[in-house]
């Protein structure tokens, strides 16, 4: 699979799409978190947490900050709905200074609309070009792809993402009732050749636009994945 044209020429462009998190994952650094931090090759990477999809939920922000503080890492938070409100220039500075940008889950469709309004979509693309590691869970996973399998419209449907990765991504694969069935039906009906899905506790690492590795937490060692790629060089087996 070749990267979108916006990725052409980028060296070591790393994107990690996490299918979902358990309650335990929210309390402690997971193997996926450690893997993401290692991609920066820095002892003390600058971490930015973007919580647009959750409406800047205070509890989620506190959980995320505490989790990374337990490992000695400080987190900056980009909030849109909670004061103090940031200007576009301040948002750009937060994003451009980050080594890791972690996007929270929530309402994908609403998040994408807000990002366009504040030019966050363009700033994230610039951050990738300059070497930041982009990652996230659920909505924060599917936003990097051309399309994402989302329930943000009241039922399962495909919503457009940033297009930094070709294909369609489905989070919570096997973890949410009806999710897998809906996704498989949509793939057949719409003839989507590039498809990825990850269960809770499973992350897909893309390097320079190609699937590079699959990382799992211990609890998700048998978590479901789906990798359906026309390019045999980049295909990977499913794990039931």
Which residues participate in catalysis according to the annotation?
138, 172
Compute the distance between CA of residue 186 and CA of residue 201 in angstroms, rounded to an integer. Answer: 24
The region, left, alpha or beta by phi > 0 then psi within -120 to 50, assigned to residue 189 is alpha
95 DSSP 8-state letter: H
- C-alpha distances in Å from residue 182, one per residue of 150, 178, 240: 10, 6, 17
Are residues 186 and 149 in contact, defined by beta-carbon separation less than 8 angstroms? yes
Compute the distance between CA of residue 113 and CA of residue 176 in angstroms, rounded to an integer. Answer: 25
Compute the distance between CA of residue 40 and CA of residue 2 in angstroms, rounded to an integer. Answer: 23
Of 218, 234, 34, 60, nearest in space to 138 by CA: 60
| DSSP characters over 140-173 | HHHTTEEEEEE-TTSS-EEEE---SEEEEEESST
């Amino acid at each position: 699979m070749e990267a979108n044209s916006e990725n052409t020429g980028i060296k070591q462009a790393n994107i990690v799409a996490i299918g979902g998190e358990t309650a335990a994952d929210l309390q402690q650094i997971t193997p996926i978190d450690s893997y993401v931090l290692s991609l920066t090759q820095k002892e003390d990477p600058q971490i930015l947490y973007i919580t647009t999809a959750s409406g800047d939920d205070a509890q989620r922000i506190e959980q995320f900050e505490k989790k990374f503080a337990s490992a000695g890492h400080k987190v900056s938070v980009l909030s849109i709905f909670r004061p103090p409100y940031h200007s576009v220039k301040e948002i750009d500075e937060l994003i451009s200074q980050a080594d890791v940008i972690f996007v929270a889950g929530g309402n994908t469709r609403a998040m994408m609309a807000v990002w366009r309004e504040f030019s966050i979509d363009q700033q994230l693309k610039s951050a990738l070009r300059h070497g930041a590691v982009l990652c996230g869970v659920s909505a924060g996973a599917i936003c990097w792809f051309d399309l994402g399998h989302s329930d943000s419209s009241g039922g399962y449907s495909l919503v457009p993402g940033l297009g930094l990765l070709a294909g369609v991504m489905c989070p919570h694969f096997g973890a949410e009732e009806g999710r897998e069935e809906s996704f498989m039906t949509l793939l057949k009906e719409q003839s989507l050749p590039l498809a990825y899905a990850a269960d809770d506790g499973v992350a897909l690492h893309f390097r320079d636009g190609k699937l590079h590795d699959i990382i799992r937490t211990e609890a998700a060692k048998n978590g479901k994945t789906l990798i359906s790629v026309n390019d045999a060089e980049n295909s990977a087996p499913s794990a039931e």
